Amino acid sequence: MNATSKRASQRVKDVDPARLAMLNAGEIEAATLTECLAIDFAALMRVVLPEVGDDAATIMECEAKTGISKRMALAARLSYDRLGTGAIDNLRKHRSDTLRSWACFMIGATNGVTLTDRLAAIRPLADDHHFGVREWSWIAVRPHLAVDLNEAIANLAGWTTDPSERLRRFASEAIRPRGVWCAHIVALKQQPAKALPILEPLRADPAPYVQDSVGNWLNDAAKDQPEWVRGLCARWTAESPNPATYRICKRALRSINSKD
């Protein structure tokens, strides 16, 4: 058994068997990341989406030991190819956070959709109450944001004033220069100032959830453009001297300061 298989087996062992059975049947939401990672996608597909076909579930079984990001995308692609966009509405309202996450990737996989329409479709999932769905929502559409970065920033700038801290956080998190579990956005590593229409309105956001994302965004940028981040944080703390901005800048400068 290789290291990946061992980790997967351990995750299953770490979850209560009764809960795992309900998770694999789509009856409950995952309460922790460990539960999210332990779910058997093939079993879930057979129970909740039998119309996709047993061959699709078999493909999922063969990929059971691959990373969760790849399995999420594969489950969505198989569902999209066989059921079309009509299945998205049912999945994004499902009680299972995993199935709502598949809906995120189906929105990401939908062909012939403008970026504005894709963001409108992902918006309810970006505002989902479940932590996992919110993460998958931005990961699922990020490739499209990176391809049309100027339009993405123009669209997401409007999210920065939304009453929902989840949507404000999405605007920042979705286009982090480096990000987590995703490809880097080279244009923002080279020119982070392009994202100022999103970052500036969030520089004193009252929600720690948003503050952490903005701080992490700038910490990403600091790995390639440290002087730009230093200058921005100096300006922000001068123009906006409040605890929220200080907290963001402290997080933004942590990699730089660790080298000093």
What pLDDT, in 10s, does the model give residues 164-209? 999 999 999 999 999 788 899 999 999 999 999 999 999 999 999 9
Task: Give the rounded percent of residues in the chain with a pLDDT score beyond 70.
Answer: 95
CB proximity list for 247: less than 8 A, separation 6 or greater: 208, 211, 215
Q: Which of 131, 166, 167 is nearest to 30 (CA)?
A: 131
| pLDDT (mean) for 3-23 | 73
pLDDT on residue 179? 78
What is the model's pLDDT at position 129? Answer: 98
Reply yes or no on whether the pLDDT at 131 is more than 80: yes
pTM of the model: 0.92
> Which is it for the CA torsion 66, 107, 52, 34, positive or negative?
positive
- HSE at residue 143, side-chain half, CA atoms within 13 A, is 11
Structure confidence at residue 241 as a pLDDT band (50, 70, 90): very high
Euclidean distance between CA atoms 143 and 139, whole angstroms: 8
| pLDDT single digits (tens) 60-102 | 999 999 999 999 999 999 999 999 998 999 999 999 999 999 9
Confidence of residue 10 (pLDDT cuts 50, 70, 90): low
Q: Please give the pLDDT value at position 260.
A: 54
Looking at residue 180, its pLDDT comes to 80
Per-residue confidence band for 11, with pLDDT thresholds at 50, 70 and 90: low
